[in-house]
Structure 1
Amino acid sequence: MLTTHSIFEQMNKLGADKVPFFFMIDFLKEHGEVIPLADLLDDIQFSMHAEKQEISHKDFLFAKHPISYEDYQKQFKVVHDNLMFGNSYLTNLTCATPIKTNLSIEEIYKLTQAKYKLNYKNQFVCFSPEIFVQIKNGKISSYPMKGTIDASIPYAKEIILNDEKEAAEHATIVDLIRNDLSLVSNNVTVTNYRFIDELITNDKTLLQVSSEIVGDLEDDFISQIGTIFDKLLPAGSICGAPKKKTVEIILEAENYNRNFYTGVFGVFDGENVDSAVMIRFIEQENNQLIFKSGGGITAKSECESEFNEMIQKVYVPIY
């Protein structure tokens, strides 16, 4: 596994040579994989924008055992105090939830329906709905997701779009991503603001709010793919703003190691790049499956509501 500088150097080199490659980078940009597609072994499986498949339903068990509300309150307080002091405008707080299921990591990978899927050596599986960045025809696009609600709630779409806290959180992330893209591209524009995506899970349907932001890359971007990702990471949607200080707050508040959760993975096909934020994530730790999830906290956030959202995001999209 590569370390910080060699990750991005290898991405630049393979990009300049137009060699298609797979890449995977952890939350703190400390470790990763950059592997030419021709050398990729079967122990790394991934799927990008796959069509929904009719998969025979398998009866499965899925039970979650989240941390106590009291423990969550302590972490929330660290984050909220920093927000009230003005050290951050938005902080993404996440937790590790032990789960029990009769599915293996490989079965979860095969059965889940998601825009992006990754099974890394049966060590962890990701089934993410969130694009990180896409590069196509010299343009770079990002689609941050912020705001989740149970679709079964009457007038759910209107509620989520009119919620002041959710609107403020989304605006903060869009502004952060717009600034991030400005580090690597020109003419950055928000081309679609706060549209709704529908996510079907094993026990409910969720609505999530996204935006589209687009910029123009320099002509030599193909030899600077690693440099671009180095400047953009960690992903703004899963840390917060301002980014550097907010990551410090996250490391203080969270009592576990995210590792590759909330990192990114993707593919360079020789001309273009597609990548995803590694959310909706299950990891094998000491013979125990751990589901990592969380949400954005602002000064207006209520602890109980955020606790419930963190638990709500512990699901598998099998239906």
Structure 2
Amino acid sequence: MHKKENIRVQMNELGRLNQAFVFIINFEADHALIFSPDDSSQLLWQTRQAGNFETAKVKTTTMQWEIDPVAFSAYQQGFSRVQQHIHNGDTYLLNYTQPTAVKTNLSLEEIFHESQARYKVLLKDRFVCFSPEIFVQIEAGKISSFPMKGTMDATLPNAKEHLLNDSKELAEHHTIVDLIRNDLSLVAENVTVEKFRYLERLKTNRRDLWQVSSKISGQLPQNYNECIGDIVYKLLPAGSICGAPKKKTVEIIKATEGYKRGFYTGVFGYFDGKNLDSCVLIRYIEKQENQLVYKSGGGVTFLSDAKSEYEELVKKVYVPLKDKS
């Protein structure tokens, strides 16, 4: 049996037994890890209401943070290839990402404890993630997704108004909401958009950001716990971090980005035996030998400007630090 099928079947079986577990699945959905929720030997994690670690004391030293993003000329080459595919009709929204080398005085584990986010994940000596983006939540048989599309520096004058009225951001958000609605319809009935384009403010070590999300929900069948693995895998990869149409867009991503995403833009989740909470693995730092690499990006449409998209990629290279005041 293929490893992907092994993991999917294992998730189904644990769900049938109403047994709790946590999981990580990579972007390509061909590699996954499953852990007992209490096992902190390799994995530390936190969702909205659960976690498996004791909060460590926040350090008093100032965080050092230096970044070395890909050169704009190199980014522009990939961006131009994406635009060519858009003009050819191969894709109409593609989440284009690139790696950024970072230097800091903190270890991955220290960053994990210092950061504040809705979801936090530390796969020891491999990566840390402090994600603001929900993948799907399942509560009492209702499945909901909260795609996040649209980011702006919150310190800019009238930032909220500019973000909500930006035609490129609006078109991109409409596309992702349609894609997620179609995805949820593969596993649920009566899928509806409950909330369209609401704002959340994120505090980071560099600047505050406004981000835009929507909420889409549907009703799962009564025995959903017995097919929890099927449900998760049918929804992969997360639409917000690939684009539309999904299958062709993923092919273009793999051919254009020039590096492997790995667990970046994959998903992490916690199943408590009945309900599921999960996130998209964005805002992500990976250890590559002795180098730390931050992976980030944004959605590209025919309305996109290369310089603006590059600046957004760089703005997302941050850590949402705990407030020490």
TM-score by length of structure 1 reads 0.97
- Given candidates 106, 109, 115, the residue that maps to 2:118 is 115
Letter in 1 for 2:43: I
Distance 1:56 1:69 in 2: 35
* Preserved CA contact (<8 Å) 2:56 2:113: no
**1:183 match: secondary structure:** coil
Letter in 1 for 2:46: S
**Percent identity over paired residues:** 51
2:43 alignment counterpart: 44
**1:187 match: secondary structure:** strand
- Given candidates 281, 288, 297, the residue that maps to 1:278 is 281
1:125 alignment counterpart: 128
Unaligned ranges ≥5, structure 2: none
- Given candidates 145, 150, 166, the residue that maps to 1:163 is 166
* Preserved CA contact (<8 Å) 1:50 1:115: no
Distance 2:3 2:40 in 1: 20
**Cα displacement (A) at 1:37:** 2.7
1:83 alignment counterpart: 86
**Cα displacement (A) at 1:78:** 1.1
Distance 1:305 1:56 in 2: 35
RMSD: 1.5
**1:208 match: secondary structure:** strand
**Cα displacement (A) at 1:34:** 1.6
2:12 alignment counterpart: 12
TM-score by length of structure 2 reads 0.95
**Cα distance 1:122–1:111, how it changes in 2: closer, same or farther (>3 A)?**
same
**1:37 match: secondary structure:** coil
**Cα deviation 1:81-132 (Å, max 9, x = unaligned):** 1011111110000000000001000000000000000000221000000000
**2:287 match: secondary structure:** strand
**Cα displacement (A) at 1:243:** 0.3
1:154 alignment counterpart: 157
Name the stretch that deviates more: 141-150 or 40-49.
40-49
**Cα displacement (A) at 1:57:** 3.9
* Preserved CA contact (<8 Å) 2:184 2:191: yes
Distance 1:31 1:13 in 2: 18
**Cα distance 1:54–1:120, how it changes in 2: closer, same or farther (>3 A)?**
closer
Matched, 1:195 2:194: no
Distance 2:57 2:116 in 1: 10
1:136 alignment counterpart: 139
1:210 alignment counterpart: 213
**1:4 match: secondary structure:** helix
The count of aligned residue pairs is: 317
**Cα displacement (A) at 1:35:** 2.3
* Preserved CA contact (<8 Å) 1:19 1:36: no
1:3 alignment counterpart: 3
2:262 alignment counterpart: 259
* Preserved CA contact (<8 Å) 1:49 1:115: yes
1:27 alignment counterpart: 27
Matched, 1:92 2:95: yes
- Given candidates 177, 181, 192, the residue that maps to 1:178 is 181
Distance 1:167 1:54 in 2: 41
Distance 1:152 1:41 in 2: 38
**Cα displacement (A) at 1:46:** 0.2
Unaligned ranges ≥5, structure 1: none
Letter in 2 for 1:26: N
1:236 alignment counterpart: 239
Distance 1:60 1:272 in 2: 37
**Cα deviation 1:124-171 (Å, max 9, x = unaligned):** 000000000000011000000000000011111100000000000000
Distance 2:211 2:57 in 1: 24
2:74 alignment counterpart: 71
Letter in 2 for 1:215: G
**Cα displacement (A) at 1:12:** 0.3
**Cα displacement (A) at 1:42:** 2.2
Distance 1:99 1:88 in 2: 31
1:289 alignment counterpart: 292
Matched, 1:105 2:108: yes
Letter in 1 for 2:7: I
**Cα displacement (A) at 1:54:** 8.7
Letter in 1 for 2:45: F
1:315 alignment counterpart: 318
**Cα distance 1:137–1:50, how it changes in 2: closer, same or farther (>3 A)?**
closer
Distance 2:61 2:145 in 1: 35
